[in-house]
Structure 1
Amino acid sequence: MIPIKLQAGNYLLWNNLFLPVLRKYKLLGLLTGADMRPSRKIFNAAGCTVDNHAFDLWYDKDQLLMIWIISTFSMDLLSHTVGIEYSRDLWEMLEKCFVGVSRANVHHLRQCLQNLVKGDLSMVSYPQQMKEIVDGLGDAGQPLTDDDLVAYILVGLSEEYDSFVTYIETHWEKVSFDELLGREAALLKRKLRSNSSGPTEPFHAYAATPRSSQHFSHSRGSYNSNF
């Protein structure tokens, strides 16, 4: 029911997917303490200590949840379950281990996204590196839209690509990542042809009169998707 395996880098996403399932099956109380653990033993009418049937019922449900949670672990996390008997203890251990790590990872990926520019990267590897960062944010529970990804890619291009950026911004009301890659491939072919035929203004063929209003409302050198 949970489509991903829990790893150190995707705890926030995993948690976000798991919580609705717990609410649906009324199991969240086991993790919050609202569904309190009964005593294992109680006194009967004769004053003798006996097993508490309420505990047995609660324990069966709790162990089922434990199995459910552990079944979503990646192999390297299974050792974290050693010595843990109740699902609430397991849940709190996960929060302690991964909340801080996941937030730090999100912060790191955001910084990478803000700082990555094409520089000496090829027009093939540059957008792919951007895509990997955005995918990492999605895995960490902080997804970005395709529009955000395209905007970050355009912002990171140097002035040499101004004609290309202007073309994308003024001729495309909405462009996907895959469409942008196609345009970049065409741009690269134009550059190779221009280099073989002699010195010309880089990517001049992309400069054209705007046919529609700008879609990407960002300035070169910075972009903020409000995330």
Structure 2
Amino acid sequence: MVHMVSVKLEANNFLLWRNQFIPLFTCKNLMGYVNGSFPPPEPMIVSDNNQVFKNPAYKTRQHTYQLLLSLIYLSLSEETMSKVLTITRSVNVCDALEEVYSHKLKSREIHLKDELQFIKKGSQSVSDYAKTFKTICNQLAFMGHSIYDTEKFHWLLCGLGPKFHAFYARISIYTGTT
């Protein structure tokens, strides 16, 4: 699976990195090992006649954990790996990385929403302004924070300037929207 991982995790690309693993682990039925939803089997089992022996499912589980851990480590930059090097389970590595980078995601979300609300057309063409606006909306959607269409419409028109405000006000009167 190593050849299927193209993005190494660095400080600024956590979403891209995470989103390459989700479909890979999901299609290979490995997501439960990473998100903790597969409970680990007991290392030892007792037979019907009360004999205790090693559980083969436990050994298979440990093998899978190590395989996933190796795959995850191979996808980390040196700087990122140093943050999780002592962690020995894939589920714990993923939790730790989420914790390290989630504050950056929230900060990025706030920054993009501010950018969306305060973007101005300025000297750009309407087409270039709309492309920039759409790019910001797409980045928010990619992060899982889509913006309502009415808010997009409002912020898009606000950024176009006063001429478009008057136009929007006239449309609002006829359509009953505000």
Instruction: Identify the TM-score tier after normalising by the shorter chain.
Output: 0.5 to 0.7
Counting helix residues as a fraction of each chain, which structure ranks higher? Answer: 2
Tell me what 2:111 maps to.
108
The answer to whether 1:93 aligns with 2:96 is yes
Q: How does 1:62-141 map to 2 (within 5 A)?
A: 62-118=65-121, 122-123=123-124, 127=129, 130=132, 134=136, 137=139, 141=143
* CA distance in structure 1 between the aligned counterparts of 2:13 and 2:153, rounded to whole angstroms: 23
Residues 31 and 114 of structure 1, relative CA distance in 2, 3 Å threshold: same
Structure 1 unmatched ranges of 5 or more: 166-217, 221-227
Task: Give, in whole Å, the separation in 2 of the partners of 1:107 and 1:13.
Answer: 18
* Aligned equivalents of 1:97, 1:80: Cα separation in 2: 8
Distance in 2 separating the partners of 1:149 and 1:74: 36
Q: How does 1:180-191 map to 2 (within 5 A)?
A: none
Given that residues 109 and 133 in structure 1 are in contact (C-alpha distance below 8 angstroms), is that contact kept between their aligned partners in structure 2?
no
1:81 is matched by which residue type in structure 2? V
In 2, the alpha carbon distance for the partners of 1:72 and 1:140 equals: 21
- Choose between structure 1 and 2 for higher RCO, CA contacts under 8 A separated by at least 6 residues: 1
Cα distance in structure 2, aligned partners of 1:97 and 1:129: 32
TM-score of the two chains, using structure 1 as the length reference: 0.50
* Counterparts of 2:133 and 2:17, CA distance in 1: 21
CA contact (8 A) 2:119 2:133 kept: no
Alpha carbons of structure 1 residues 82 and 134: separation in structure 2 relative to 1, 3 Å: same
SS in 1 for 2:106: helix
Q: Percent identity?
A: 24
Kindly provide the CA deviation profile for residues 125-149 of structure 1, in whole angstroms up to 9, marking residues without a partner as x.
x8499369628826952588xxx99
How many residue pairs were aligned? 158
Q: Which residue does 2:60 correspond to in 1?
A: 57
Contact 1:113 1:133 survives alignment (8 Å)? no
- Computing the radius of gyration from Cα coordinates, the structure with the larger value is 1
